[in-house]
Structure 1
Amino acid sequence: MDNVKLVPELRFPGFDDDWKKVNLSKVFNITAGGDIKKSHVSHIKTSEFPYPIYANAEKAKGLYGFSNIFKVNENVITVTGRGVNIGIAHARDHKFYPIVRLLILKPKHDIDIVFFEYLINQINLFIESTGVPQLTAPQLSTYSVNEPTLREQQKIANFLTAVDKRIGLLKQKKTALETYKKGLMQKIFNQEIRFKPDSNSPLSRGVRGVSTGVCSIQNSNNYPDWEEKSFISSFPVVTNGFVGTATPHYRETGICYIQGKNIKKNSINNKGMIFINDEFHTKQKNSQLKENDILMVQSGHVGECAVVSKDYEDSNCHALLIAKPNNSSDSKFITYYFYSFLGRKSIWKISIGNTVKHILASDLKKIQLSFPSLQEQQKIADCLSAIDQSINQLTKQINQTTQFKKGLLQRMFV
């Protein structure tokens, strides 16, 4: 066993040396933060209080506030030493003030602190505690890691940093697009902007670097004015999904039995999907679903809704409101409306209950909302769907890149 070489599975060309197993106490002087006087603390950064204060928290990399003094001046690593986020490492290359049980790791020799941030975050820390989990400096000092040469540390750190920057950029684009969509929806449903018929020009305003599909938005009166109507005028049938015990009819495979947990953000999520047998489905005719039906959560996170796509036609559902359209409305337009500020407000008005909110089918039927022509409804739905597709694509890229990084971390370290 002593002759086993310490080399990673995945390695950059030009590196042949074995990695060396070292104790963290041989690499770092490890100390803990402490208290700070209130007179040295500000919750906003100013010219007088320019130095970050870091504590044991995961959000914002542990940023607590700002100080007019600093305690750490060197390139170091901090490791959370208390709470549920114990053991999270961050490389710090600036002046700051550590507080409470935040651990500070000061290098004893020349290393790449970013490499060691990734390395320490790979350690499976075992903390035995009956109360709040706590990691002390002596405890962390006992852990061993495998250390390559400084040049290889730098190569790995630079590569993983580039991957993290890619993930960060994708997240920024997604956030910007979500913010843009939210503002666009508010303008659309407030009728501040209108759609122009028979146009295939790109969005008049969008998010730089992100394709949002085809939809022309202009102040135009080429479509008829919107008309205020009751919900039931376009959805004459509003019923309840099956309410009762269905567990004896559950199967590992079969007919989808959609529940409130499967409805979120204008889509049906098959995560945790329940399946039922044919006999139960056939018996529960009132809760059988057709394409373009709208499903709405009526208890708990009320108002969450989605359109039944072709994939879920002939499914069944549990304790959901089912709205069946006529030919005068686009179901997707209506669900987007219910995710707008005006739509949320209309749902809130009919919600009952204090602890757990609830809405009734009879009240949903009476909701008044402004309907554009069917053609403009479809334009709006297509536009917002195109933006959602871009958001979903960014989400997919974020997940793929995150998984790629996870695989790298497993293969690039010993």
Structure 2
Amino acid sequence: MIASILWVLAYQRCGVAAEFDCLYSEVFLTRNAWEKRKLNYFLHVNEIKNKSEIYSKKDVLSVSGEFGIVNQIELQGRSFAGSSVKNYGVVELGDVVYTKSPLKKNPFGIVKVNRNKAGIVSTLYAIYKPQTTLYSPIIDYYFQSDCRVNNYLKPLVNKGAKNDMKVKNVDVLKGNVTIPSEIDEQRTIVGLLNKLDKLIAATQHKIDAFEQIKKALLQHLFDQSWRFKEYS
């Protein structure tokens, strides 16, 4: 049923049914439900700090709802770090970060996985490392839904007078999640969603190209620099 709906949406809205066939064949109905587990079954708190200053201000990371965990200078054009980054937390590839700061769609903050390169974040952020039970990119997809991340964090977080998040790093892991316990199944899910992301990106490039064509037509048709042959 899910696969059928996805296929129809792809065909009707994107015109990419042929490319979507490879995804369609990989989605099946659930037979054995996943067990609910505390998030601390999959993650543990990472308290590694940048004491030896291996990382500098150039390595400070930002956590964005749209772009995930990215270099702050690349995203915002500059570093907003203080004079010292010794106490900043070290975020390695595959680590998970909770922002502890509200966004418009996420009043209790967001949870993202570092899928780019290692760096550091301010002490305002909570950092977690995957247990051996987790292929961490699945956390990125699990909490990509605004509704899911909001519902997960709401019972765990108390908002302070300054709209900051009053919650211990370890307590963020006390909520329940529904994620497969088998690493192979986690990897299969991530692989499928990665394919879909690439398909969406490729489709967006096509849309952008058509928008540029339309823009050119609007300009040249109405200033009469371009005419239909039979009317010129």
Tell me the TM-score normalised to structure 1 length: 0.40
Shift, 1:325, TM fit: 0.7
**Mapping for residues 206-221 of structure 1, pairs under 5 Å:** 206=7, 207-208=10-11, 209-210=15-16, 211-212=19-20, 214=23, 216-221=26-31
Is 2:133 the partner of 1:331? no
CA distance in 2, matches of 1:236, 1:289: 13
Contact persistence 1:258–1:317 (CA under 8 A): yes
Contact persistence 2:112–2:143 (CA under 8 A): no
CA distance in 1, matches of 2:210, 2:198: 18
Is 2:62 the partner of 1:259? yes
- What residue number does 2:176 align with? 368
CA distance in 1, matches of 2:202, 2:109: 25
- What residue number does 2:89 align with? 287
Is 2:99 the partner of 1:297? yes
Shift, 1:406, TM fit: 4.4
Shift, 1:225, TM fit: 4.8
Give SS of 2:91's match: coil
**Mapping for residues 9-408 of structure 1, pairs under 5 Å:** 203=3, 205-206=6-7, 207-208=10-11, 209-210=15-16, 211-212=19-20, 214=23, 216-221=26-31, 225-238=33-46, 254-255=58-59, 257-260=60-63, 263-265=64-66, 267-268=68-69, 270-275=74-79, 283-284=86-87, 287-301=89-103, 302-309=108-115, 311-313=116-118, 315-318=119-122, 319-340=124-145, 341-353=147-159, 356=163, 358=165, 360=167, 361-372=169-180, 373-406=182-215
* 1:334-386, Cα deviation, whole Å (9 max, x unpaired): 22222344443111222322773626323212122233122222222222222
CA distance in 2, matches of 1:411, 1:258: 44
* 1:301-342, Cα deviation, whole Å (9 max, x unpaired): 244333212x322x1223322221122112121222223444
Shift, 1:410, TM fit: 5.9
Q: Larger relative contact order (C-alpha < 8 A, sep ≥ 6)?
A: 2
CA distance in 2, matches of 1:393, 1:241: 39
What amino acid sits opposite 1:328 in the alignment? T
Compared with structure 1, are the counterparts of its residues 393 and 321 closer, same or farther at alpha carbon in structure 2 (3 Å cutoff)? farther
Compared with structure 1, are the counterparts of its residues 303 and 387 closer, same or farther at alpha carbon in structure 2 (3 Å cutoff)? farther
Any runs of at least 4 consecutive aligned residues in structure 1 with deviations exceeding 4 A, and if so which? 238-242, 403-412
Identity of aligned residues (%): 19
Contact persistence 1:295–1:320 (CA under 8 A): yes
CA distance in 1, matches of 2:158, 2:197: 31
Shift, 1:291, TM fit: 0.8
Contact persistence 1:297–1:305 (CA under 8 A): yes
- What residue number does 1:168 align with? none
More helix by share: 2
